[in-house]
Amino acid sequence: MKHIFFSVGPSQLYPTVPVHIKNALKENIPSLSHRSSAFADYYKTAVTNLRKILLIPDTHEIYFTASALEGMERTIQNTVKTHSFHFVNGSFSREFYQIALDLGKTAKRFDAENGQSFDFKDAVIPDESELITFVQNETSTGVSTPLENIYAVSKSHPDKLIAIDIVSSTPYIAPDFTKIDIALFSVQKGFGLPSGLGVMIISNRAMQKARYLSNTQHSIGSYHNFLKLQEFGNKYQTRETPNVMNIYLLSKVTQDILAKGIEVIRHETEVKAQLLYSFFDNHPRYKPYVQEKYRSKTTIVIDVLGESGKVVDLLTKHAITVAEGYGKRKDNHIRIANFPSHTEQQIKRLIRILKYGK
Ligand SMILES: *Cc1c(COP(=O)(O)O)cnc(C)c1O
């Protein structure tokens, strides 16, 4: 029986990826020059398709990095002179804050309890904050922050840049880019690709901030500062030798997603999430960790009463991988990815094994 990965990243490959990898080898993609016109065509196809899937307007450009964490670091370097502000409700949102501190910024944070959403009315965002960050889907806890809440913060702080991490929710989630300056993700989660490629979507306004910082003798980093991303991105290239293979695969998988229809994928995501949540809502012992309103549809976290080892062992015997809890909740939780690469049939198999032990 084929192994199924419900791990939250890397995860199950999008079903067409093995064929695309075979074709890539036939077409010698791993040896392709990143200065060739063939490479530029793959780059262009990948970003054009992403624009269609996520409805990215012309006010925003799409660039490649090595990872989502790199996207966080570039965001801080290129948009913050001194002050940043971070909504923190888990490990990845804390990482965004920590990166700002590591880069010597005066970073402030507003916290929510693990597994909970924010009390937005209590958040005091200092005037001097230049950037506000969110992790829209906290993979560590399974909490999804409603986009409406993020838009409300954006609306009440029109002078500040807004950056959101959509790593483990996109392409199910696509923000309204008129309200967001920067969105970042990596491709090994919702896009079902091998790891090692990040994507940044950057507004003209954020680009202007980077230009201003650079012109006023502030460091915005080196080969992947926003200005370099733009200079090379305009030619469908990157400053460095990038992950050519993954950019090729992204150009193919985004094509497949468009052919299937992103609305179909979103509907399937909701159906599969509903199957999992209703199974666990009715489970005699194991329960969803997050209250209904804030439950992620794409990374589903279940409190298994310290028995994650037992659950993981049972599933492994049936060639299924799920993630244990994050950090200190390793034993208490299991985390189940529900990405476009996961089929309803696979989810039903997972449920059947948990229900009947076979
Ligand atoms: C996985 C993950 C990251 C880190 O992604 P990398 O590609 O490893 O940098 C960041 N944020 C969230 C929400 C994630 O789930």
167 CA from centroid of ligand 1 (Å): 6
Q: Name residues whose C-beta falls within 8 Å of residue 262's C-beta, 6 or more positions apart in sequence.
A: 53, 171
> Using CA positions, which residue lies closest to atom 5 of ligand 1?
68
- pLDDT per position as a tens digit, 226-245: 999 999 999 999 999 999 99
Q: Is the pLDDT of residue 1 over 90?
A: no
Q: Is the pLDDT of residue 310 over 90?
A: yes
- Identify the pLDDT of residue 357: 85
- pLDDT per position as a tens digit, 95-123: 999 999 999 999 999 999 888 999 999 99
- Identify the pLDDT of residue 354: 96
Residues having CB within 6 Å of any atom of ligand 1: 9, 67-69, 92, 135, 139, 165, 167-168, 186, 198
191 CA from centroid of ligand 1 (Å): 13
The first and second tokens of residue 36, run together, are: 């060739």
- pLDDT per position as a tens digit, 129-187: 999 999 999 999 999 999 999 999 999 999 999 999 999 999 999 999 999 999 999 99
Cα angle: 327, vertex 200, 233; to 5 degrees: 145
Burial of 211 (C-beta count, 10 Å sphere; 0-12/13-18/19+): middle
Asked if 133 contacts 115 with a C-beta cutoff of 8 angstroms, the reply is no
Peptide bond into 30 cis (omega under 30): no
> Using CA positions, which residue lies closest to atom 12 of ligand 1?
167
* 172 vs 191: CA distance, rounded Å: 10
Which ligand 1 atom minimizes the distance to the CA of 168?
A: 15
- pLDDT per position as a tens digit, 323-351: 999 999 999 999 999 999 999 999 999 99
Which ligand 1 atom minimizes the distance to the CA of 195?
A: 7
Ligand 1 mutation target, pool 11, 139, 170, 224, most atoms within 8 A of CB: 139
Asked if 192 contacts 11 with a C-beta cutoff of 8 angstroms, the reply is yes
37 CA from centroid of ligand 1 (Å): 31
The mean pLDDT value of the chain amounts to 97
The first and second tokens of residue 339, run together, are: 């990405």
- pLDDT per position as a tens digit, 14-59: 999 999 999 999 999 999 999 999 999 999 999 999 999 999 999 9
pTM (2 decimals)?
0.97
Ligand 1 mutation target, pool 167, 299, 335, most atoms within 8 A of CB: 167
- pLDDT per position as a tens digit, 44-102: 999 999 999 999 999 999 999 999 999 999 999 999 999 999 999 999 999 999 999 99
Which residue's entry shows tokens 């696979």? 346
Cα atoms found within 13 Å of the Cα of residue 347, Cβ hemisphere only? 25
Which long-range contacts does 182-188 make (Cβ < 8 Å, 24+ apart)?
182/71, 182/75, 182/79, 182/206, 184/65, 184/68, 184/71, 184/72, 184/75, 185/68, 185/71, 186/9, 186/67, 186/68, 186/71, 187/246, 187/250, 188/9, 188/10, 188/11
Share of the chain above pLDDT 70, in %: 100
- Identify the pLDDT of residue 114: 84
The first and second tokens of residue 291, run together, are: 């209250």
For 314, the 3-state DSSP assignment is helix
The first and second tokens of residue 230, run together, are: 């733009």
- Identify the pLDDT of residue 37: 98
Task: Please provide residue 274's backbone torsions phi and psi, each rounded to the nearest 5 degrees.
Answer: -60, -40
Helix axes 226-233, 68-79, angle to 10 degrees: 110
